Chain A
């Protein structure tokens, strides 16, 4: 890799880390404003948020090979956990569909696709679907920031 390519890769990596940091800060603010700590289920995103923060911290500066690999694992865990969060939120909305008085009567008669669509678009239910999706995107950003990371290059013999 030439010096120019390295500089460009470094700039892109930094941009991904900045995006990841903004996403983490925004999600932390959102969770705090929503008081997202009622019960065990609502506490679940916090450790994943912490994993993202640690991953971001590990990738900042001049990490070693092991550090980057650990950051990669944490970022992958964040992506998977947040993706499950998206699913859980959609499912929660789906389960609450019949409680919405606008749909209570016709919910049972609606097709599965229609019900899932209403749940995924938060037409019914209380859970914001895109909130965990932001965390999933942060996980991907951090994961992508480790692609061809200089610390992972094999030392020249």
Chain B
């Protein structure tokens, strides 16, 4: 009886877990962020100007342009914030100014992997972590370009 109860309990647990996993709906959809997930070149005036204000095209065809534009925007804004000490709001503002889409979400990721060693001037640790998300071309460079240590 003891064994049967334990097996039944385990089966119920697995079933509940499966049910929880299959209970997918749209409630967790990051709509606000997702709707801003268009290529960053369309999101700032500077970026639009640099790309001739062309309508958004696919990520694959505009990858090179996006990379160059993101990096240029991040560099031109000149607004650098502390990778270790800036608040999430400050990070978000800096990323938005640099034309990085989903800025608030990236800000949370930067915050999550703190602290960053001051000797890590290229923020390699952050680069490795962000790369796991498979961001678009140039996004990580643009994020790092807006950050400074400490």
A residues in contact (CB < 8 Å) with B: 38-39, 79-80, 83, 86-87, 90-91, 94-96, 98-102, 104-105, 107-108, 112-113, 115-116, 120, 124-126, 140, 143-144, 146-148, 152
B interface majority secondary structure: loop
The answer to whether B133 and A104 touch across the interface, beta carbons within 8 angstroms, is: no
Q: How many residues of B contact A (CB 8 A)?
A: 37
B residues in contact (CB < 8 Å) with A: 2-3, 6, 10, 13, 17, 20-22, 24-26, 28-31, 33-35, 37-38, 58-59, 101-102, 105-106, 112-113, 129, 132-137, 139
19 CB contacts below 8 A, A to B, read: A39-B112, A39-B113, A86-B17, A90-B21, A95-B28, A98-B105, A101-B59, A102-B59, A104-B37, A104-B38, A104-B102, A105-B37, A108-B34, A108-B37, A113-B24, A115-B29, A143-B10, A146-B6, A147-B2
Q: Which residues of A sit under 8 angstroms from B135, Cβ to Cβ?
A: 99-101
A interface majority secondary structure: helix
The answer to whether A102 and B134 touch across the interface, beta carbons within 8 angstroms, is: yes
Which of B20, B28, B30 interacts with A87 by CB under 8 Å?
Answer: B20
Report B131 CB to chain A, min CB distance, Å.
Answer: 9
Closest 4 CB pairs of A and B: A101-B136, A126-B132, A116-B24, A112-B24
